[in-house]
Each structure stands twice: as C-alpha cells, then as structure tokens.
Amino acid sequence: MAAGRDLAVDLDALRALRLRVQGLRAPFDASAPEVVRRFVAVQAQEYLPSQWGLAQRVADDRRPDAAAVAAAIDAGDILRTHVLRPTWHYVHSADARWLLELSTERVHKQNALYYRRTGVEGEVATRGLDVLAETLAGGHRTRAELAAALEAAGTPFTGIAFTYLLMLAELERVAISGTGVGKQRTHAAFDERVPPSPPRPRGEALAELAARFIASRGPVTERDFAAWSGFTLTDARRAFADAAHVADGRLETVEVDGTPHHVDAASEPPVSDASRPAVDLLQAYDEYIMGYAPPRSFLLPDELDTLHAESPGHALLIDGVMAGRWAPVVQTRRATIRIVSWRKRSPAEEHALAASVADLERFLGVPASVEPAED
C-alpha cells in the first residue's frame, strides 16, 4: 500500500491483501525453502498436508511435487522442530538457532506441567539428553533407534515421556529433524544441520520476528502475533514498536472495523476479479488460518460466529472464506479427495475447485478423484 492511500479497509480487502501477501494469489516464491524462510516458521503438525501448504506458495512454473519438498527436508534446507509454541514448525536452517534461543524459555514454561507429570526433569532428563547426544553423534537415528539407545543405557523413556524428552532435546539444541528412512523420520545432531551464529539480544530477535511476521502475513494485529508466536501481548507490543526500525520505515497502519492492523508497505493487494472465483484447498493448520488470532472473522461465512482449527478435516475456501472441509486419502497409485460442502457451489466455483484438485494431483504425483463425504 502506497503512502497516502486510504488506509481503512473492509473484510473483503483484508482477505485480498492477506491472500496476496501469503502467496496464495499469484505465488512468487521460487522454492519451498524460500517459502519457509520468508514466513520464518510454518506450523507443520501433519507431515504431507503441511508440505502441500509450502508447495501452494511457490510460483506456478516452479511448483514442487511432494518428492521435491521431501528432498529439501532431507537435505536440511527445511527443518521440522518444536519452536515458538509446543507444536511442530518448519524453519529454515539459517533461522533455526536464533528462533530456538528466543523461544525455548517460553516453551519450557508452557511444557513445565507435562515435564513433571512424565518425569522428564532433573538428573533423569539430563542423562536422557546425554544419551541422545551420544547416539546422534553417530548419525541420524529413528525414534525406535533412539528409544533402544536409552533402554540400553539404563534410562528408558516410553510413551509420552519419550515424546517430551525428544521435544526437550530439540529445545535444548541437542537434536533436530534428520533425513527420511523409508516412511520413517529421523533426528540428527543439531549442530550438524544448523550453521553456527552468534547469540542475539532478545529484543533484537523479537523485533526481527515481528517484522517478518508482518511482512509475510499482514495486515496483522499485536494479538495475532501473540497468538501465533506464543509470546505475551506485552512482548508483542514491544516487538511491533521495534519492528518499524527493522522494516526500514515500511510499516503502515490500516484500520479494519476500527481495529488497527499493521502491514508492510511493500505489500500490494491483487486486482479484484469477481467473475473468476478462487477455491483453495488449505491444510487445517495453514498459516492463512493459524497466522491470526481467533475468532478469525475474515474466514467466516455469515452463518458462523467462530472457527475451530481442530475441527475434522482441512479447510476448503472460496475467495478466502471457509466453504467446507476436505480430506485426502492417499494410496500408492491413487488419491481420493473427500469433500464436505457447506453450501452449493456455482459452475464457476466448480471449475475453480477442479483446478485446485488438479494442482493437488500434480503435487501428490498420483491420479486424484473427488467424492462427497458425510459432514
């Protein structure tokens, strides 16, 4: 948005700008690692759907398939770890160290009760981390191999305790995602996959995180940043104030229904074309959904007051508004896309849906058919 333009926008304009900034309209990133680098961190609970979310944002003529995104993860250009909040995120190898240094203390506080309940604390946890570090020094290891090493060392961790020990190892920069072994993922030694970098002052790191959050998801509020990052609203306010210096004066404020939102002035909304609807098949935890604080009114059709990301299935959007759910059933030689529709689609919307299914089909690398599912 250029300086001096009317900076009051409605929900339609907010959707349009967010879709463009996020790269869901006229994608401009050159690769999946570039998407991750621009977004700083991308929520990634569900492995294959989250990779689809990266591919969607790559320029059409360079869009990778699932094998290409998985290769970038195997190569360590994209890393998957617990950061910012106690959940999986993709991060770029160049950002992993400072992001973990910034957010580890906060995530530990959020995990404290579960550490106590599972016994992942004190000398027991320290010994477990030592065993993991020794084991990973010999190469990338599957979860089963790490569990066996702990058992052999006389420090067994099973079930949820093992899961929290691995998360602790990631937060303490002992372990991070490794290559794939068949259908299994591995962990690797953190320093093997993440280049060294000097520590950053907390305020400086928070300011960069906020500036890049605004640039990749704006217009956004301080509440959006706090919900996404896991930091307090006080931290968010301070970070947004400092982000103006990081962004070199590009940040502007727009009002949406009387609420100030921050946007990077380098972001431009797409040209509106109401005659050509767009249908997006987004994964449930896509940044277009999870990058903003509830109730996420910009996503909601008129008949809904709130949207629960944990509802079954992924998100089917028409022109940036929720219009149903979808779920892929992927087999070796074919895929079925099951769709729960919340409303009847127009012929133009059906055509747009078919185009999105074709994109997903190319990503999966197998023929895909669509069938309705029970709500």
| pLDDT 10s digits, 132-163 | 999 999 999 999 999 999 999 999 999 999 99
Backbone angles phi, psi at 331, to 5 degrees: -115, 180
pTM, two decimals, is: 0.93
| pLDDT 10s digits, 295-338 | 999 999 887 666 655 467 899 999 999 999 999 999 999 999 99
For domain 8-26+199-264, the CATH class is: mainly alpha
Q: Which two tokens stand for residue 302?
A: 């008129």
Please, where in the chain does CATH 1.10.10 lie? Answer: 8-26+199-264
- Whether the pLDDT of residue 2 is over 50: the answer is no
SS3 105: helix
Go through 93-116 and write b for each residue having 16 or more CB atoms within 10 A of its CB, e for each that does not: bebbbbbbebbbebbeeebeeebe
Q: Are 141 and 187 in contact (CB under 8 A)?
A: yes
- Whether the pLDDT of residue 17 is over 70: the answer is yes
